[in-house]
């Protein structure tokens, strides 16, 4: 979908969205679910890497738009992918910070595994567009859909370092009331509600402060990183964060223009779509922040043989 050529978006509004958020195009899943998108990504990743499915011990599916309230989409994905039944598979309900949270869970599982050849699949994706009202200009032009797959192995190399945070007092800022067991009647909001000012204020104040504190604790500086991979919510907000961190423009890639805000999938989508094939060790600082409210950061290195792949859904 093109925000400058959409029947629900007037021309001036589309131009304003592009100028303020950096978003023009949105990839929309019409019939596919987040699990479908993640399945397609995982299948391609496993086939291209000639992965031994018997060495996959864990599968974590991070999404706020699962196939069902129950059962967990992760167990369905385990079966669809042909993984062994001894795989530990479960869902994690997280949004903007979900990729970093998922990485932390996977890392802990691999570290505790007695299988020295253990591997894990982290599947992260959302179809937030299905929750957006086309007449709501605060949400409809901002969100796209994506699914990602990350294959990780148990390693004796450097660890991933995490900083995870949450503040439920801000839960009203981004919310879908309907669908859970708190609200069982039809009298509640079924589409996504977004308080842009509250989210923006949170993003430019709490997030850079938390990042700076985390970097100080780890005795690292902005210049130590090849890239800062931020959650892709709003380019104007992210540029404020970048400037507060004194990061160079080249250190902060964006996927917003082509893909919009894909919720928990923005970080892996930005890596695969914006970084070239890794030919040397590449040090990354990841930071996801938003719905919850929650925010999470990670420091890690991509190996020189790390395989990155990006493609549109063809399932």
Is residue 310 included in any domain, yes or no? no
pLDDT averaged over every residue in the chain:
92
Is residue 307 included in any domain, yes or no? no
Is residue 247 included in any domain, yes or no? yes
pLDDT-derived band at 115 (thresholds 50, 70, 90) equals confident
pLDDT-derived band at 187 (thresholds 50, 70, 90) equals low
pLDDT in tens, 117-157: 899 999 999 999 999 999 998 899 999 999 999 999 987 65
Residue 312, pLDDT score? 62
pLDDT in tens, 48-85: 989 999 999 999 999 999 999 999 999 999 999 999 99
Residue 101, pLDDT score? 98
99 and 20 fall within a common domain: yes
192 and 274 fall within a common domain: yes
Domain total of the chain: 2
The model carries a pTM of 0.94
139 and 30 fall within a common domain: yes
- The answer, yes or no, to whether residue 186 has pLDDT greater than 80, is no
- The answer, yes or no, to whether residue 310 has pLDDT greater than 60, is yes
Domain boundary among 109, 133, 153: 153
Q: What is the mean pLDDT of residues 217-241?
A: 97
pLDDT in tens, 188-223: 667 888 888 899 899 999 999 999 999 999 999 999
Residue 154, pLDDT score? 85
What CATH number has the domain bearing residue 208? 3.40.47.10
19 and 135 fall within a common domain: yes
Provide the pairing of β-strand 56-62 with 88-92.
parallel
Residue 18, pLDDT score? 95
92 and 130 fall within a common domain: yes
Q: Any idea which of 176-180, 259-263, 291-295 has the lowest mean pLDDT?
A: 176-180
Domain boundary among 121, 153, 185: 153
Is residue 2 included in any domain, yes or no? no
Is residue 226 included in any domain, yes or no? yes
43 and 107 fall within a common domain: yes
Residue 314, pLDDT score? 46
Distance between CA atoms of residues 58 and 251, nearest Å: 32
Is residue 309 included in any domain, yes or no? no
Percentage, residues of the chain above pLDDT 70: 95
CB 126, CB 64: distance < 8 Å: yes
294 and 168 fall within a common domain: yes
Residue 209, pLDDT score? 97
- The answer, yes or no, to whether residue 278 has pLDDT greater than 60, is yes
Q: Any idea which of 9-18, 30-39, 68-77, 176-185 has the lowest mean pLDDT?
A: 176-185
118 and 167 fall within a common domain: no
Output 215 or 311, whichever has higher pLDDT.
215
Is residue 315 included in any domain, yes or no? no
* Structural domain containing residue 200: 161-302
The tokens describing 204, both together, are 């430019």
Give 206-213's long-range contacts (Cβ < 8 A, gap of 24+): 206/167, 206/289, 206/295, 207/241, 207/287, 207/289, 207/295, 208/240, 208/241, 208/244, 208/245, 210/163, 210/165, 210/295, 210/297, 211/241, 211/245, 211/285, 211/287, 211/297, 212/244, 212/245
Is residue 189 included in any domain, yes or no? yes
141 and 165 fall within a common domain: no
148 and 166 fall within a common domain: no
Q: Any idea which of 173-177, 199-203, 247-251 has the lowest mean pLDDT?
A: 173-177
244 and 215 fall within a common domain: yes
202 and 249 fall within a common domain: yes
Residue 276, pLDDT score? 72
Domain boundary among 120, 135, 153: 153
């Amino acid at each position: 979908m093109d925000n400058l050529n959409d029947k629900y978006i007037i021309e001036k509004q589309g131009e304003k969205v592009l100028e303020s958020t950096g978003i023009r195009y949105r990839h929309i899943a019409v019939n596919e679910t987040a699990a479908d998108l993640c399945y397609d990504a995982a299948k391609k990743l496993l086939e291209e890497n000639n992965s031994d499915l018997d060495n996959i011990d864990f599968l974590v599916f991070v999404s706020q738009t699962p196939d069902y309230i129950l059962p967990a989409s992760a167990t369905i994905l385990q079966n669809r992918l042909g993984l062994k039944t001894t795989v530990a598979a479960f869902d994690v309900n997280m949004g903007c910070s979900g990729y970093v949270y998922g990485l932390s869970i996977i890392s802990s599982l691999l570290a505790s595994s007695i299988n020295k050849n253990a591997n894990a699949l982290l599947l992260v994706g959302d179809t937030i567009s299905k929750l957006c009202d086309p007449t709501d200009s605060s949400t409809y032009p901002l969100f796209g859909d994506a699914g990602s797959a990350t294959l990780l192995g148990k390693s004796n190399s450097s660890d991933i370092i995490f900083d995870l945070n949450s503040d439920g007092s801000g839960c009203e800022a981004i919310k879908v009331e309907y669908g859970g067991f708190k609200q069982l009647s039809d009298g509640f909001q079924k589409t996504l509600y977004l308080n842009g000012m509250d989210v923006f204020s949170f993003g430019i104040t709490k997030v850079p402060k938390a990042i700076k504190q985390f970097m100080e604790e780890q005795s690292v500086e902005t210049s130590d990183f090849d890239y800062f991979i931020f959650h892709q919510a709003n380019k104007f907000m992210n540029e404020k964060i970048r400037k507060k961190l004194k990061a160079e423009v080249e250190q902060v890639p964006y996927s917003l223009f082509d893909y919009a805000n894909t919720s928990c999938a923005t970080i892996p989508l930005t890596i695969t779509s914006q970084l070239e094939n890794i030919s040397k060790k590449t040090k990354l600082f990841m930071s996801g922040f938003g719905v919850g409210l929650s925010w999470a950061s990670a420091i890690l290195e991509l190996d020189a043989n790390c395989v990155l792949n990006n493609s549109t859904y063809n399932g």
